Amino acid sequence: MRALLILSVLLMASAVLRLGTDVRQAVAQQLELQSDATGRERLEPENCQPEPGVAATLKALAKREDKLRRQEEAVEARAQKIRQGERMLARRLADLETTEAELRKTLAIADGAAENDLARLTEVYESMKAKDAAGHFERMDPEFSAGLLGRMNPKAAAGILGKLDPDQAYQISAILAGRNANAPRN
């Protein structure tokens, strides 16, 4: 029973509100018709003339708004150029990384080939008689001959050093002993 009473009060309040809104609209329309009938001009924004001080302020605000709009467009144009530059930079960076990876592969192949050539040359000199190999080592640059002797097994290297001129053997030995002197110890 109580719920029915509350529900009926709410429905009546809703009806009163709707009726009030409709009445307000009807009155506004009637006043508008009367205003048009008396021949008075309706107040439209283009018919309003602001006071001189307000007009100057409005004009200054319009100029300021136009200036800000142009600045905003310039900033947006710069931002667009920056985004375009970032995309180009990203593409170039990706290209550079690809090129670097290809270069690493090429260098690895070249290093492997050079290592294979040196290993083969070392085996050739190890398998030669010490006297014959010493003749070749005498004509080599001391740095290069020291590198080859350093790669050989100690017995073959000792045989070749023993057959070299003592001064040249000393020079090669000094190069071998000092080539890792500047390497870090820790």
> Which residues neighbour 153 within 8 Å (Cβ) at sequence distance 6 or greater?
126
Domain containing 157 equals 128-179
pLDDT digits (tens), the chain, 186 positions: 677 678 676 777 776 666 666 656 766 676 676 665 555 555 555 556 767 788 888 888 899 999 999 999 999 999 999 999 999 999 999 999 999 999 999 998 888 888 888 899 999 999 999 999 999 999 999 999 999 999 999 999 999 999 999 999 999 999 988 887 666 776
Asked, for residue 143, whether it belongs to a domain, the answer is yes
Last residue of a domain, one of 118, 144, 160: 118
Asked, for residue 150, whether it belongs to a domain, the answer is yes
Asked, for residue 22, whether it belongs to a domain, the answer is no
Asked, for residue 80, whether it belongs to a domain, the answer is yes
**Please, where are the H alpha helices in the chain?**
2-37, 52-127, 130-139, 142-151, 154-163, 166-178
Distances (CA, A) of 77 to 24, 82, 88, 182: 51, 9, 17, 57
pLDDT at residue 18, rounded to an integer: 67
Q: What is the CA radius of gyration of the chain?
A: 50
What is the separation of C-alpha 102 from the centre of its chain, rounded to a whole number of angstroms?
A: 21
> What crossing angle do the helices spanning 154-163 and 130-139 adopt, rounded to 10°?
70
Which amino acid is residue 154, in one-letter code? Answer: P
Asked, for residue 91, whether it belongs to a domain, the answer is yes
Distances (CA, A) of 75 to 6, 42, 85, 88, 127: 61, 43, 15, 20, 76
Sole residue written with tokens 């820790």 = 186
Could you tell me which of 121, 114, 122, 181 has the C-alpha nearest to residue 157?
A: 122
Distances (CA, A) of 86 to 14, 39, 76: 61, 65, 15
pLDDT at residue 112, rounded to an integer: 87
pLDDT at residue 34, rounded to an integer: 61
Which two three-digit tokens encode residue 1? 């029973």
pLDDT at residue 2, rounded to an integer: 75
pLDDT at residue 76, rounded to an integer: 95
